[in-house]
């Protein structure tokens, strides 16, 4: 069984001092994600995306060539669904999902808003997630990132299982929501640069060589 090896270079703040919160928030909150939470103009309504192979990804017609130098791009879509908004399986091509608004309309079941299974080289950048439960699930995947995004659900969960070489960084959580980042049997995961004003938990088990650094976890009324 693997041992959890976590390098903590964290800033844990427990305070009611408004000035300190404002300074740290300006340092770490992704500005573009905040803008997405304020306006939805210019986004194209789109059906849920389901991709099961590199061939399907190539046939979808997204701009790019699927290489590191010229990745496929999914951008400026707004997807509302009571199922998974973006589901990708069994791909190796390079893909960037950016500047999208994904809304989970499922208020009963725990359904991932994004679900990756056996996926490599996919980055989620500058997206906004909304719904009662915002749940991102990454399984048996590698070489990806979730960065500069706004997690605006009542509860927000990022689950990384049996995966490696992932970066979770600079995502915004509002004061009114709770957040969970959970690692299980995953290696070389980096969690950094978060400002989290609501109750947020970072946990890991059976994972190796993971780094948690420069996160500000703020809790009131302690």
Q: Band of the pLDDT at 3, cuts 50, 70, 90?
A: very low
Phi/psi at 208 (5° precision): -130, 150
Query: What is the model's pLDDT at position 63?
Result: 98
> Tokens representing 50?
């389901």
The conformation of residue 60, written as its DSSP 8-state character, comes to T
Query: Does residue 2 register a pLDDT over 80?
Result: no
Q: Band of the pLDDT at 31, cuts 50, 70, 90?
A: very low
What gap in Å lies between CA 108 and CA 102, rounded to an integer? 17
Query: What is the model's pLDDT at position 122?
Result: 99
Q: Note whether 183 and 212 are within 8 A (CB).
A: no
Each residue of 45-100: pLDDT tens digit?
Answer: 999 999 999 999 999 999 999 999 999 999 999 999 999 999 999 999 999 999 99
Q: Band of the pLDDT at 192, cuts 50, 70, 90?
A: very high
Query: Does residue 111 register a pLDDT over 70?
Result: yes
Q: Note whether 100 and 127 are within 8 A (CB).
A: yes
CATH fold of 6-218 reads Pectate Lyase C-like (2.160.20)
pTM: 0.83
Query: Does residue 194 register a pLDDT over 50?
Result: yes
Q: Which of 20-29, 56-65, 86-95, 209-218 has the lowest mean pLDDT?
A: 20-29
Average pLDDT of the chain is: 83
Query: What is the model's pLDDT at position 199?
Result: 73
What gap in Å lies between CA 149 and CA 169, rounded to an integer? 9
Q: Note whether 115 and 137 are within 8 A (CB).
A: yes
Query: Does residue 23 register a pLDDT over 80?
Result: no
Query: Does residue 110 register a pLDDT over 90?
Result: no
What gap in Å lies between CA 47 and CA 82, rounded to an integer? 11
What gap in Å lies between CA 29 and CA 21, rounded to an integer? 11
Query: What is the model's pLDDT at position 34?
Result: 44
What gap in Å lies between CA 110 and CA 119, rounded to an integer? 21
Query: Does residue 22 register a pLDDT over 50?
Result: no
Q: Band of the pLDDT at 104, cuts 50, 70, 90?
A: very high
Q: Band of the pLDDT at 179, cuts 50, 70, 90?
A: confident
CA distances from 179 to 21, 25, 92, 151 (A): 18, 17, 29, 8
């Amino acid at each position: 069984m693997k041992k959890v090896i976590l390098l903590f270079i964290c800033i844990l703040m427990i305070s009611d001092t408004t000035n300190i919160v404002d300074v740290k928030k300006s340092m770490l909150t992704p500005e573009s994600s905040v803008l997405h939470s304020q306006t939805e103009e210019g986004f194209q309504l789109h059906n849920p995306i389901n991709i099961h192979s590199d061939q399907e990804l190539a046939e979808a017609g997204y701009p790019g060539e699927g290489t590191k130098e010229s990745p496929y791009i999914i951008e400026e879509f707004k997807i509302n669904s009571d199922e998974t908004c973006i589901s990708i399986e069994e791909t190796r091509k390079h893909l960037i999902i950016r500047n999208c608004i994904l809304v989970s309309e499922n208020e009963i079941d725990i359904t991932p808003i994004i679900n990756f299974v056996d996926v490599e080289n996919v980055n989620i950048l500058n997206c906004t997630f909304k719904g009662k439960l915002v749940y991102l699930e990454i399984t048996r995947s590698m070489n990806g990132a979730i960065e500069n995004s706004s997690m605006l659900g009542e509860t927000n969960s990022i689950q990384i299982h049996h995966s490696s070489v992932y970066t979770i960084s600079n995502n915004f959580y509002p004061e009114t929501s709770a957040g969970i980042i959970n690692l299980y049997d995953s290696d070389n995961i980096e969690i950094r640069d978060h400002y989290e004003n609501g109750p947020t938990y970072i946990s890991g088990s059976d994972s190796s060589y993971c780094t948690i650094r420069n996160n500000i976890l703020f809790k009131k009324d302690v």
